[in-house]
Amino acid sequence: MFVSMRIKTLCLLLLVVLLAACSNDTSSTGDGDEAVPDEAAAPTLCPLTGVETTTDISRPALAVKVDNAPPARPQAGVDGADLVYEELGEGGLTRFLSIFHCNDAESVGPVRSARNVDPDILEEFGQVLLGYSGANSQVLAKIAGSSFIGDLKHGSNGDAYIRASDRKAPYNLMTSTQKLRSAATGDADGPPKTALKFNADVLNPPAPATPAEGAPATDAAPVGNSVSFSYSNANTVKYTYDAASKSYLRFNGEVAHKLANGKQVSAVNVVVQKVKIVPGTIRDASGSLTQDTTVVGSGEVTVLRGGTSVTGTWNRPSLTANTTFTDSSGEIIEFAPGTTFIHLVSQERAVTVQ
């Protein structure tokens, strides 16, 4: 019996030695050095959204001019853009400059003409493609003279556009990001430059502070559940925060702004950038004076994300510089990862946040 127990003990010791040897073999490089485990590759983030992506971010951004006049609705593809600017046009109406980079859209439109401010907006992003229906001679000359814009206007790139049979002209010119990119001839290359900073933590604002005994109740986080502003007396925009999707839903006045796919227009970040807007000297096809919008300089800005708002200052010292957004203490305002709508609103217009 003693011999049997001794044999069992020896077998157990041998098993321990073998296990240790196997462990050493798997953690050794064979030359006595310990193996270093491979570090997980850092995720690729889209420059204009801060969202993880598998898209080749070295490709250029693509901007498409989309009409926002009531007869142009419901639009298509706006919900696929990474970044959208809304700018004032003639008669108090607006148009979208929808910028696609990591995201794509099978249908975008209705595509309308470019305005004088469009090249000024786009120059800060570096090399970029621009799809639009046309423009007057001054704007065409400005775009043609730009070294940073790949011109994809309708007419010169006819295969990239179609006239939709279910829409009335001139609100029936449609395209897609794939068609426009296929029409590009290498005029633009490289990812967009941007000064936008993203931080997912802004979607989780701090809870209201507990007041000291006898002190009045105060909120630690600023209010930002809704914002309303106007481009003209007849054109008011409103956003309300939807906690379920952590995004802001858009309304034209009190009417939900729906797209052709039935979705309501929404944005994770809403920016109201107050700028100088004056009547310009260029007339559109109907003879109306277009608006001159200044996007270089500085002014007041309101940023909403995660149900909170921040009021601060926008600054862009030159056309080639990126626009920065800072709070009252001079710190960069952080955005939530996702789509951003930037509204270029006259500095004379009021902004109401609740």
- pLDDT, residue 167, reads 96
Measured in residues, the chain has a length of: 354
The Cβ-side half-sphere exposure at 144, using a 13 Å CA radius, reads 9
**Which tops the pLDDT comparison, 199 or 158?**
199
Contact 257, 264 (CB under 8 A): yes
Rounded CA-CA distance 342/345 in Å is 9
On the question of pLDDT at 220 being above 60, the answer is no
Phi, psi of 61 (to 5 degrees): -75, 155
Contact 231, 349 (CB under 8 A): yes
| Cα–Cα distance list, 349 to 96, 232, 343 (Å) | 19, 8, 12
CA 240 to chain centre: 18
pTM of the model: 0.85
Rounded CA-CA distance 354/349 in Å is 17
> For 74-114, what is each residue's pLDDT tens digit?
999 999 999 999 999 988 999 999 999 999 999 999 999 99
**Which tops the pLDDT comparison, 239 or 9?**
239
Rounded CA-CA distance 236/251 in Å is 8
- pLDDT, residue 215, reads 53
Which CATH fold topology does 61-282+289-353 show? YerB-like fold (3.50.90)
- pLDDT, residue 277, reads 96
Structure tokens at 180: 């426009």
- pLDDT, residue 242, reads 97
Percent of the chain with pLDDT over 70: 81
> For 39-64, what is each residue's pLDDT tens digit?
677 899 999 999 999 999 999 999 99
Instruction: Report the DSSP beta bridge partners of residue 353.
Output: 227
Terminal-residue alpha carbon distance, the chain: 86
> For 158-172, what is each residue's pLDDT tens digit?
799 999 999 999 999
Contact 49, 82 (CB under 8 A): yes
> For 248-303, what is each residue's pLDDT tens digit?
999 999 999 999 999 999 999 999 999 999 987 777 666 677 789 999 999 999 99
* Nearest Cα residue to 145 out of 177, 167, 172, 123: 123
Rounded CA-CA distance 28/33 in Å is 6
Rounded CA-CA distance 237/202 in Å is 24
15 Ramachandran zone, left/alpha/beta (phi>0; psi -120 to 50): alpha
Contact 340, 296 (CB under 8 A): no
On the question of pLDDT at 15 being above 50, the answer is no
Phi, psi of 333 (to 5 degrees): -75, 125
- pLDDT, residue 193, reads 96
Rounded CA-CA distance 334/340 in Å is 12
Question: What are the domain boundaries of the chain?
Answer: 61-282+289-353
- pLDDT, residue 7, reads 43
- pLDDT, residue 279, reads 86
